[in-house]
Structure 1
Amino acid sequence: MHAATTSTDSLLRLSLNDLLFLEALVRLESLKDAADEFGLTRASASRTLARLRAAAGEPLFVRSNPNLVPTPEARRLATAVRRLRLVARELSPPGAPEPLTLARHFTIGAGENATYAFCLPVIERLNTIAPRVSVSIEHFEPERLFELLQSGKLDIAFYPQEVLPPHFESAVLSSNNIVAMVRREHPLLALARERELTLGDLAAYPKIRVSSAVARPFDEDDESDFAPFYHACCASDVPSVPYFLSALELLSRSDALLSVAARTAEAALRRFSDCAILPIPPLGRRDYKVRAIWHRRLSRDPEFLWFKGVMAGVLKGD
């Protein structure tokens, strides 16, 4: 009796999403297919299955390649979850969206870094979980941002400041920093394998900058010892290109150094093998916060709140 009570208590501590994932696993008998249905990575899906097994106190599924065969307990729980889902729908506020059938267009205000590092993964997730939801990404003039959000020309935008005018709200969606990139065969990478790099080592090489990049978000007290190098990269007399992708191309063909947002650099390295992140401390001693802003008129819009939740989940790696 005590063991059964303990198992029940553990199951009650699971999130509704975890339980719905269990139902999908029972229905599909495939971790990959269930992960695709929920827009999860394979690693996230495996962690969810581990939580379910720990809470249930039993394996729940038996591997029978290529499928996962549900145990009787897993089938019993899945039946209960289907009933729970019906109750949850009755409790949901009117108009709560169903992702598979939701048809709506959202517009995100973003610069090139945010587009590359954050918006593209959001669109990729939406293509999987909400195929009828479409997204536009618009560049905006900073002085017009609040006007564009208020008028509805933008639904949400990336905005670094914490202080907002009346009628606007924001949320922290991720974190970032500033790092340096070089070509993969750069002499500094070979030197870094022998010893720690110094500011003097970096001074000997040319720099390039992306002219559309936003200003650095750090205060002097929060900057690393390599801050002079990062500031030098942003100087007005440094040769510039208008876009990050063209900067990557130039970087791969020269010994130049480029300072760039860390999440943008990481995203680039997943697709371009010609470049690398230089092993020096980033500009900030701590990461800075990546914020999104929207007009308060959308704060009770269930479809927008769902969309913002998808953005937050993707940016936090869920």
Structure 2
Amino acid sequence: MTAIDLNLLTALDVLLAERSVTRAAGRLGLSPSAMSRTLARLRAATGDPLLVQAGRVLVPTPHAEHLAGRLHVLVREAHAVLTPAAGDLDPASLARTFTIRANEGFVSLFAAGIVAAITQEAPLVRLRFAPKPDKDVRPLREGLIDVEVGTTGASAPEMRSQMIFRDRFIAAARHGHPVFDGVMTPERYAACSHVVASRRGAMTGPVDEALHEIGLKRRIVAVVPGFLDALTVARRSDLVALVPQSCLLHGQMAHGQGAAQGLQGFDLPFTTPELAISLMWHPRLDADPAHRWFRQALMAVCRKMT
């Protein structure tokens, strides 16, 4: 059997990510000439050019694009195999980038605290917060992200999850809004004009189902992508926003002049399901000591802040 240099897998993974010999060399601590020689070895090993010049940039060949997703997973698993046992993990010397996928509201409210706590214990760790346009589990399966934060309802059954905190929906309106004049009832709430948050532009949700059960329907005037957007609209209009309680409370504390400023929250006058906010990850990372440490540290920060 021909010997295979497994370091080439890492090199190819970085080259396909950076699409630049110079940048790839910087990430791997090599000189550009050494990186060029590595690329030549990769081309010889695969029988494919892999990256070709297109103007001032390198672009992957079809074969390289086919390899990219599978390659990233292989490299992550190889690093997990060669990671020291849990008892030997020293966060102070851990040099790794962790990617967290979460919605804009979570990032806005929790990212600063997470970064401060994680980097204090592990100064060489880097954190990347990725946007969450949908609930597609492929980024977790393919190793493109390390963890995802959200509700587990639409998550794939093989994913691991652990609840971070419980939340609930409340309503919010600007100070001085007529909705605060008198006792709140389901009828008064439904009679308001509303702004809701939905990445998919959905006009209805659990609150509308609860209102339907008691024979009521609310008028939704605006749909925005995120909860902080909904708070901004409510602050500048007579619309009533529907948001998680944590979004309003932490927004008021952390953002001073931000979206939550000038708003007052109130309980919904009917029952809606609680929100279980969880951390999700792929089972292949269960036993990875660095990933386990990261999950525990992240959950500890979030629980402390709620």
Class of the TM-score when normalised by the shorter of the 2 chains = 0.5 to 0.7
Asked if 1:175 corresponds to 2:166, the answer is yes
Corresponding residue for 1:301?
288
Is the 1:210–1:242 Cα contact (8 Å) retained in structure 2? yes
In the alignment, structure 2 segments of 5+ residues that lack a partner are: 1-83
Is the 2:135–2:154 Cα contact (8 Å) retained in structure 1? no
Corresponding residue for 2:117?
125
Asked if 1:110 corresponds to 2:102, the answer is yes
- Give the number of aligned pairs: 215
Residues 304 and 184 (structure 1), Cα distance of their counterparts in 2 relative to 1, 3 Å cut: same
Corresponding residue for 2:263?
275
Equivalent residue runs for 1:242-261 within 5 Å: 242-261=225-244
Equivalent residue runs for 1:180-259 within 5 Å: 180-189=171-180, 191=181, 195-212=182-199, 216=205, 232=218, 235=220, 238-259=221-242
Residues 218 and 232 (structure 1), Cα distance of their counterparts in 2 relative to 1, 3 Å cut: closer
Equivalent residue runs for 1:44-59 within 5 Å: none
Corresponding residue for 2:277?
290
Percentage of identical aligned residues: 24
Pairwise CA distance, 1:102 = 2.3
CA distance in structure 2 between the partners assigned to 1:218 and 1:279 by the alignment: 12
Residues 162 and 208 (structure 1), Cα distance of their counterparts in 2 relative to 1, 3 Å cut: closer
Alpha-carbon RMSD: 3.4
Is the 1:178–1:282 Cα contact (8 Å) retained in structure 2? no
CA distance in structure 2 between the partners assigned to 1:275 and 1:291 by the alignment: 27
Pairwise CA distance, 1:258 = 0.3
Is the 1:179–1:281 Cα contact (8 Å) retained in structure 2? no
> TM-score with structure 1 length normalisation?
0.57
Corresponding residue for 1:157?
148
One-letter amino acid of the counterpart of residue 179, structure 2? L
CA distance in structure 2 between the partners assigned to 1:289 and 1:211 by the alignment: 18
Is the 2:89–2:289 Cα contact (8 Å) retained in structure 1? yes
Pairwise CA distance, 1:171 = 1.1
> TM-score with structure 2 length normalisation?
0.59
Secondary structure of the 2:184 match is coil
CA distance in structure 2 between the partners assigned to 1:163 and 1:144 by the alignment: 9
In the alignment, structure 1 segments of 5+ residues that lack a partner are: 1-91
Is the 1:217–1:288 Cα contact (8 Å) retained in structure 2? no
